[in-house]
């Protein structure tokens, strides 16, 4: 029914401009040889008339749905809705809609989500893999957003470089005893962030890694991480691989009466919405989500057009350190007085 309404509209646009319906169709789809001047005139008239092309008719004509799939590892995590929004905007700019599936952190559900989207006729899929998983050929164009160290990765933030920024910042403040906090030793992203921090620590600086997942399995998820004891033993900087872990560290230390940042500094990653709202506001590392989304969608659309596999990236998109209130000189540092 919608296709029947669209055709007369297209014909009326053509008649009003004295061109053929085929010329109008080519101008609106970006295909065929239409001069820039004529194409701009056609788009202006189409916009003024409120012309809406029929997606169903286009799918029948091109054999494509005009829809991309997006598989998220856990939509309940506050980072992934932000990524989904960036992907949707990039896809919309490229002329595509988006269907979202959530793997809920399960490898089997991730596989099911991918093939459900393929069954629904998506033209390609953007996948953010479950921690530590590798996506093999799925018989459909795909782009992977994870880490430069992930085989088959298309684009990502440069998590290693982000970790280096954290180390440079805290070392420049005078910190010499670090506790690096992660929650999954199988995560490429977390290992890259921790590796980046370690790579910039000079001789004489100590850095231990605490894996919260292992701690919680042994002591219970509600148990203390013992961070106040670490402060008493000389740790002055807690570098966390995520803002959620940084918030947990901040809350535990505040409850123990440890002052942040006067006695200890805390940093996170991801710049989640609450990071600027907590007290003190969290020093963190931000991903350039719009650029990552554009790169992934552009690579996927190119692969769809060429019926090929997207080129994989060898490096990531630079991250940006956001310095707020949870990082300062350690106690005893001359500038701290």
Instruction: Examine residue 261 and say whether the peptide bond preceding it is cis (omega within 30 degrees of 0).
Output: yes
Pure H helices in 30-158:
36-49, 55-62, 79-93, 107-119
CATH number, domain of 77, equals: 3.40.50.2300
| 152 and 164 co-located in one domain | no
| 39 and 81 co-located in one domain | no
Alpha-carbon distances, residue 195 vs 142, 171, 204 (angstroms): 28, 15, 17
| 271 and 297 co-located in one domain | no
| 85 and 219 co-located in one domain | no
Biggest alpha carbon distance in the chain? 82
| 181 and 55 co-located in one domain | no
| 302 and 313 co-located in one domain | yes
Cβ pair 271, 278 in contact under 8 A: no
1 has pLDDT over 80: no
pTM exceeds 0.75: yes
Question: Would you give the distance in Å from CA 122 to the centre of its chain?
Answer: 21
Arithmetic mean of pLDDT over the chain: 86
| 191 and 325 co-located in one domain | yes
CATH number, domain of 48, equals: 1.10.260.40
User: What domain count does the chain have?
Assistant: 3
DSSP-assigned states of every residue in 212-250 = HHHHHHHH-TTS---HHHHHHTT--EEEESSHHHHHHHH
Burial class (CB in 10 A: 0-12, 13-18, 19+), 288: middle
- Helix, strand, coil distribution of the chain in percent, nearest 5: 45, 15, 40
| 195 and 331 co-located in one domain | yes
Q: Which residue has the higher pLDDT, 113 or 198?
A: 198
| 280 and 221 co-located in one domain | yes
What pLDDT digit, counting tens, does each position of 13-72 carry? 888 888 887 788 777 766 667 888 888 888 888 877 777 665 545 554 555 678 999 999
| 135 and 246 co-located in one domain | no
| 172 and 75 co-located in one domain | no
CA angle 272/275/279 to nearest 5° reads 165
Alpha-carbon distances, residue 104 vs 45, 80, 107, 111 (angstroms): 46, 11, 9, 11
What is the domain extent for residue 79?
67-157+288-317
Domain boundary pick from 28, 62, 96: 62
| 28 and 138 co-located in one domain | no
What pLDDT digit, counting tens, does each position of 140-193 carry? 888 989 888 777 788 999 999 999 999 999 999 999 999 999 998 988 899 999
């Amino acid at each position: 029914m919608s296709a029947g309404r669209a055709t007369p509209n297209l014909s009326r646009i053509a008649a009003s401009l004295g061109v053929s319906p085929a010329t109008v169709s080519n101008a609106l789809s970006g295909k065929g040889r239409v001069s820039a001047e004529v194409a701009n005139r056609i788009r202006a008239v189409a916009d003024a008339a409120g012309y809406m092309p029929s997606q169903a008719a286009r799918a029948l004509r091109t054999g494509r749905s005009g829809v991309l799939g997006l598989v998220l590892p856990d939509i309940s995590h506050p980072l992934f809705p932000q990524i989904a929004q960036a992907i949707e905007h990039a896809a919309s700019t490229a002329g595509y809609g988006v269907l979202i599936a959530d793997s809920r952190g399960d490898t089997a559900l991730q596989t099911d989500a991918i093939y459900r989207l393929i069954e629904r006729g998506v033209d390609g899929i953007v996948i953010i893999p479950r921690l530590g998983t590798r996506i093999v050929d799925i018989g459909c164009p795909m782009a992977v957003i994870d880490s430069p160290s992930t085989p088959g990765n298309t684009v990502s933030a440069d998590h290693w470089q982000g970790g280096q920024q954290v180390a440079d910042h805290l070392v420049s403040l005078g910190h010499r005893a670090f506790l690096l906090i992660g929650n999954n030793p199988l995560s490429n992203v977390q290992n890259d962030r921790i590796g980046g921090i370690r790579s910039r620590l000079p001789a004489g600086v100590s850095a231990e890694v605490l894996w919260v997942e292992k701690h919680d399995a042994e002591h219970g998820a509600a148990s203390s991480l013992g961070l106040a004891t670490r402060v008493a033993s000389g740790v002055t900087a807690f570098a966390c691989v995520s803002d959620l872990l940084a918030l947990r560290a901040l809350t535990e230390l505040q409850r123990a009466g440890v002052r942040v940042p006067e006695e200890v500094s805390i940093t996170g990653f991801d710049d989640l919405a609450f990071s600027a709202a907590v007290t003190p506001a969290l020093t963190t590392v931000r991903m350039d989500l719009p650029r990552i989304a554009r790169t992934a969608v552009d690579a996927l659309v190119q692969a769809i057009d060429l019926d090929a596999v997207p080129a994989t990236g060898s490096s990531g998109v630079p991250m940006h350190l956001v310095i707020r209130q949870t990082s300062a000189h350690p106690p005893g540092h001359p500038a701290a007085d």
